[in-house]
């Protein structure tokens, strides 16, 4: 099965996601909207990761590709495709499912304590999620839980931190994919007077990145391999025909 990656801008790339795909031998189709790409035909997509970005999910006039990504995401979700959304990607998923994306009362930026919601036990796609854990967050928007979604995680200032919809769709508001180079790039794009504080916020303990990556890989494994027929089963069923 091939994985499509939707990327909105150069500064918010797949980061450690590429380590995971390489270690699992997964083929990629990388769609770069910042380089003029357009959404592919739905029939060509088996699984999709929608990355984050500094734009808002509702900025269609400034970023025209968002409307087509939102429509594509809705079709993919309704078709039962595997979809994994990160930050902006999670917001696009929520928006595609009818939950309006709005400004958060308190933006989150830093290593934020994420707490597992009581509903998380309803889906195996949340088996990787600890009761409490610090993940990288960098967002100013939020959303309500979409109808029929399983609420997976919360934080002190943002209730909508993760959800599962259907059997194959997982969304997280935080950034489990982010590594040190990614964060350094984001910090360098900030006003100079904020950069020292942000480096202390994010980079004072680089060991946190490795433990976050371990959980991200577990999340991806839970999502990717869920509902897949093992190759041994396929081979044995073919041999009996």
Domain boundaries, the chain: 3-231
pLDDT band at 37 (very low <50, low <70, confident <90, very high): very high
Distance (Å, whole) CA 210 – CA 180: 10
Fold of 3-231: Rossmann fold (3.40.50)
Q: Does the pLDDT at position 198 exceed 70?
A: yes
Residue 25 CB coordination number (10 Å): 6
Buried b vs exposed e over 64-95: b needs ≥16 C-beta within 10 Å? ebbeebbebbbebbeeebbbbbbbbbbbbbbb
Find the distance separating the first CA and the last CA of the chain, reported in whole Å. Answer: 23
pLDDT band at 125 (very low <50, low <70, confident <90, very high): very high
Q: What is the pLDDT of residue 228?
A: 73
pTM, rounded to two decimals? 0.93
Q: Does the pLDDT at position 240 exceed 60?
A: no
196 torsion bin: left (phi>0), alpha (psi -120 to 50), beta (else) = alpha
Q: Does the pLDDT at position 237 exceed 60?
A: no
Question: Phi/psi at 136 (nearest 5 deg)?
Answer: -70, 130
């Amino acid at each position: 099965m091939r994985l499509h990656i939707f990327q909105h801008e150069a500064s918010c790339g797949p980061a450690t996601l590429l380590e995971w795909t390489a270690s699992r031998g997964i083929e990629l189709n990388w769609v770069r909207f910042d380089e003029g790409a357009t959404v592919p035909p739905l029939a060509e997509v088996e699984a999709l990761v929608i990355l984050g970005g500094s734009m808002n999910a509702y900025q269609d006039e400034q970023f025209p590709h968002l409307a087509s990504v939102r429509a594509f995401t809705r079709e993919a979700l309704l078709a039962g495709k595997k979809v994994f959304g990160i930050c902006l990607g999670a917001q696009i998923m929520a928006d595609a499912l009818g939950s309006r994306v709005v400004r958060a009362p308190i933006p989150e930026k830093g290593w934020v304590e994420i707490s597992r919601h009581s509903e998380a036990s309803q889906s195996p796609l949340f088996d990787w999620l600890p009761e409490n854990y610090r993940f990288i967050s960098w967002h100013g928007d939020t959303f309500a839980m979409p109808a029929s979604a399983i609420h997976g995680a919360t934080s002190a200032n943002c209730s909508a931190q993760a959800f599962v919809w259907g059997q194959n769709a997982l969304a997280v508001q935080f950034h489990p994919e982010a590594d040190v180079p990614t964060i350094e790039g984001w910090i360098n794009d900030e006003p100079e007077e904020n950069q020292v504080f942000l480096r202390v916020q994010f980079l004072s303990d680089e060991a946190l990145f490795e433990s976050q990556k371990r959980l991200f890989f577990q999340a991806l494994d839970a999502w990717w391999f869920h509902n897949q027929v093992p190759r041994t089963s396929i081979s044995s069923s073919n041999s009996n025909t």
